[in-house]
Structure 1
Amino acid sequence: MKKITIKDIATEAQVSISTVSFVINGKGKKMGISASVIKKVQDVAEKLNYRPSMIATSLRTGKTRSIGLIVEDISNQFFADLARVIEDEAKNIDYRVFYCSTGDDDERSEELIQSLLQANVDGFIITPTKNLEPSIEILLKLKKPVVLIDRYFPDQKVSHVVMDNYEGSYSATKFLINKGCKNIAVVNNTSEMVQMKLREDGYTAALKEEGIYDESLVLHMEYDSHDEEKIASIVKFFKKNVKIDAVLFLTNYLGLTGLRAFKNMNIKIPENISVISFDDHDSFKLHTPTISVVAQPIEDIAIQSIQLLMRQMSNMETFEIEKSLKKGTLIIRESV
């Protein structure tokens, strides 16, 4: 299909190219063009389904009406759902979203930020990797609007929207305790990002209050290890600690890996062990039995991240840094 240009509109409307240019760029009235001609040009543009060039618009206004969204893994359902809501919200204000996945790799994250800077995106929504703080600082020095989601750097002055990970983990662990579980394990990764530390801290605090915390029931696994390695680690851990009667998985991919390990070991849920995982997933709803979760407020996080970014893009000089903490939801299903 041929790309419609302002020359095509000028020919169809029987006006000059400059007249079309002024009307399309919202300067028709200022340039003394009559209301009837302005309407005629607009009607023809709509009829021909004219779409202005993003590059041309960028050159004229310095804006691309685009947002760079950098997440850990767009194939992970949590991030995919988050991205979908962010895209819907951006579309409502006539912005497009460029998606990128880091794989939790610092070097990859830095490359993506540079690429999006070259693409002249108007703002960034970022799930940062462990050592990305200096790159975020560069964006702030360049006066680029930035909002962090899912995780943040405690000492950095940048707006962020995250779940209250400590409370979510604390509440889930307390629920298991109230159900009579006394040997509750936790499975975490080794990233040491703030959200993972807070989840483990909530678990630890709940158990220590009851005087039943046992450090030997804490399993840490490498983020970038293969699935089979993770399964083997979980199998070894649970065979070594046969007294475990409940487990809290601190991410959905760890929870899914744990379910595969339990299947290999013929461990019955909830007869042999109660299970709660962070971050809901369709597989948890389809599994037999269904799996209890600490669900993140995805829509709230997505909507507020766009709102905070818009405030910055509207006026980088006067906006105030906002740090928002959203409460998660403990959804109890058949696994407890």
Structure 2
Amino acid sequence: GSPAADGAVVFGVPGAGAVDAATTDENGRFEIPAEPGVTVDATFFQNVSDDGPQLPRDGVPDFALVGDGQYTLDSSVDVTEALPAANRLQIQVVDDTGTPVGDREVNVSVAPRHDGSADDGLGAGFQFQELEDGAVVTPAGEPGVELVGPVAIRVTPRGDRTRFGDASVTRNVTVDENETVTLTLPTESRPPTARLTLNRSNVLVDEAVRLNGTTSSDNVGIADGRVTVGGPDGERTFRRPVAAFTPTAPGTYEVTLNVTDPAGNRDETTRTVTVRQRADVSYDFELSGFVAGQVPPNENLTVTATASNDGAATVERTVALRVDG
């Protein structure tokens, strides 16, 4: 029956968020300007100071809906509401292997659910950035929070998010006894997408092929990319996504790009390069149909060319004849 002094009462229009707040005096009373006929949510927060909520361990809810949580304001409202006794809610955050999550990795928000059911009724609440062995602690270092009734707990990654990506978890609970709630935040499991381009895929021996894997993508980022080239002249690995290689033997070469994101998820893609031998050509020419040194007018001149190669390429040669006089 003691007055709830030095607390804050936050008012909000349902669906529009907080619109006003007031501090309770030594008698537990507060006043706010109101537009007649407007329905508002009302949430009480205990012992709020300039340094933020203190959350003492005294059996009083750290926050609670006032009455049924909603008021339709008239020119004046004078209602006495009794805050219910609180229960201790301890919140544990682990990853999908059961390992406690550190406070540098996540934020934990705890707020009343004004509609009593879904997290879209999430009202004003507390945000915790200090965890000890994965458990939420108050600014004074006490584990858990004192609450009662329907609340929503939301865990979101913070920092560089390399471990959890953009995952978040929300749990709706009704606090009617002392309990511990464990929320599992899944580690980032979406693999990257490997993309590899070649400047050419059909070349001759000793012609360079340039490789580029920088268009690979991931929702968090690419942590590592490397290219492996395997073919008749052996295997070579480049520990970067941009490289070039020069084949020294004909045949088929497989070029594989492997990319990894910060959470260790992988993807790879493979391209094929065909390498042909350079042509080894020999040829002879024989001229007939004229007397050496003379080309009779209106006579046919026959040029016989004999060429051979190893079948690796088509070669063209031009024979030029010059006639003087």
Same fold (TM over 0.5): no
Q: Whose helix proportion is higher, 1 or 2?
A: 1
Structure whose CA Rg is larger:
2
TM category (shorter chain) comes to: under 0.3
TM-score under structure 2 length normalisation = 0.23
Q: Whose strand proportion is higher, 1 or 2?
A: 2
RCO higher in structure (CA 8 A, sep ≥6)? 1
